[in-house]
Amino acid sequence: MSIRASVLFLSALLGLVSTGIVRGSVDDATELVRRTTDRMLTTLEARRAEVERNPALIYGMIERDVAPHFDFERITQGAVGQSWRSATEAQRRALVNAFKQVLIRTYARSLMSYAGETIHYLPVKPGNRPSTVTVSTEIRGTGATPIPVDYRMLSSGGAWKVYDVVISNASLVGNYRSGFNEEVRRNGIDGLIAKLEEMNRRGSSE
């Protein structure tokens, strides 16, 4: 699975733009995700013309409504893999900041291409580790095969945060890891940081 598949991943994020999934029943968690998703899509449609005139507006919306509910450090650490251990604190901060912006920019493009797909919510499942759950959904479009999307979430500081997303059995973290490892082998950690920063300057996702 190529890094280009991150566009699909970020489209799937439409299913998890919540204000935080709290401890409680499975039904409560699922209903919270559903309500917040509906609210965001309604807002997007209401402001679509405005955003199309000034695309930068959508970045602020994502920073405010989406980014706080993702553990970007954990996601970046997983994508970088073993090389994370040898990175300095400054390099780690640079990696997280740059990778976060790559994901936000890719999400923005996906969000603007939303064309009425529906999100079907499946039962929440316990995770493989303590304090984790998997929120399972399906993205359904007219005449298209449903796309299964699993959000792996960790309870952190009393709130749930996403640390990986699995689409059709393909992990976001695993998807990026091979490309990141290859870049580190060729050009080191600083080379990977430079590549991510260049992707952001170009507005690219690969």
**Are 205 and 99 in contact, with CB atoms under 8 Å apart?**
no
**Domains annotated on the chain, with CATH:** 3-202 (3.10.450.710)
- The C-alpha atoms of residue 59 and residue 101 are separated, in whole angstroms, by 9
Kindly report, residue by residue over 62-103, the tens digit of the pLDDT: 888 778 778 999 999 999 999 999 999 999 999 999 999 999
pTM summary value: 0.81
Strand 147-156 to strand 159-167: parallel, antiparallel, or no bridges (unpaired)? antiparallel
State how far Cα 200 lies from the chain centre.
16
The predicted pLDDT at position 94 comes to 98
Helix intervals (H) in 54-171? 56-65, 72-80, 83-86, 89-112
Residue 153 has pLDDT above 90, yes or no: no
